[in-house]
A and B are shown apart, each in its own frame.
Chain A
Amino acid sequence: EVQLLESGGDLAQPGGFLRLSCAVSGFTFANYAMTWVRQAPGKGLEWVSVINYSGGNTYNADSVKGRFTISRDNSKNTLFLQMNSLRVEDTAIYYCAKGRRSDWRSSLDSWGQGTLVTVSS
């Protein structure tokens, strides 16, 4: 059974930082691209960041470019999102999601339950 478990969500001050983790099991992590998606309270889904299977290619949404960094440790089956220079508008539930294919041009067929990030002074 595929499982994704996010952690690291917390209350942070504007300008602060957090590091989110997503521990996975039930599939060969190193074979699939992974994505972070967020959802502000009462709002829709927002695509944030993607990383290819090896970690050699990444892409961020304009809203987080230069502030967030996605990475992975294939030896530990873990995905990360380093979030710096946090803003109030980064407040959201952050989901990690698995691509259905190894190519990052892929739908997202498994999702974690999410971790809440709150940015407030």
Chain B
Amino acid sequence: EIVLTQSPGTLSLSPGERATLSCRASQSVWSSYLAWYQQKAGQAPRLLIYDASSRATGIPDRFSGSGSGTDFTLTISRLEPEDSAVYYCQQYGSSPPYTFGQGTNLEIK
């Protein structure tokens, strides 16, 4: 089973700043099959990025993903207040289980 470790646990930034969230895998993620999700309080998760760097439908270009192998990054440029949420990475390469990271809590001051 692949273990995903996200850092930092909490990130506090101001509107207009850039956020950089990390997701590290315990072994290489096959075919860079890694996704990022955003979950706001009381809501279901929403897909942001799939296959490490492709934006999902309707996601603004402020959100971008990069990485391969064991190291992946979600970057949010020009933060807005509505970006306050918990962000999760998930790997879905090769065989199940398709594990999630423990999440990064992004606070917009």
CB within 8 Å for A44 and B103 given contacts A108-B35, A111-B44: yes
Q: Are A62 and B47 in contact (CB under 8 A)?
A: no
CB within 8 Å for A105 and B92 given contacts A44-B100, A47-B98: yes
In the assembled complex, the CB of B1 is this many whole angstroms from the nearest CB of chain A, namely: 8
Interface-centre pick from B50, B94, B95 (highest chain A CB count, 10 A): B50
Q: Are A59 and B97 in contact (CB under 8 A)?
A: yes
Interface positions of A from 51 to 82, Cβ below 8 Å from B:
59, 61-62
Chain A residues whose CB sits within 8 angstroms of the CB of B63 once the complex forms: none
Residue B67, interface by CB 8 Å: no
**A103 vs B6: C-alpha distance when bound (angstroms):** 26
| Mask: chain A, 108-121; 1 = CB below 8 Å from B; 0 = not | 11011110000000
Residue B26, interface by CB 8 Å: no
Residue A87, interface by CB 8 Å: no
Q: Are A62 and B45 in contact (CB under 8 A)?
A: no
Q: Determine which of A61, A100, A111 lies in contact with B46 in the assembled complex, contact meaning CB atoms within 8 Å.
A: A111
Q: Are B56 and A109 in contact (CB under 8 A)?
A: yes
CB within 8 Å for A114 and B44 given contacts A47-B90, A100-B50, A107-B92: yes
**A113 vs B39: C-alpha distance when bound (angstroms):** 12
**A61 vs B97: C-alpha distance when bound (angstroms):** 6
Interface-centre pick from B1, B45, B92 (highest chain A CB count, 10 A): B92
**A117 vs B24: C-alpha distance when bound (angstroms):** 31
In the assembled complex, the CB of A104 is this many whole angstroms from the nearest CB of chain B, namely: 7
Rank and list the top 8 A-B pairs by shortest CB-CB distance, nearest first.
A107-B35, A107-B50, A59-B96, A111-B44, A45-B100, A44-B103, A109-B47, A44-B102
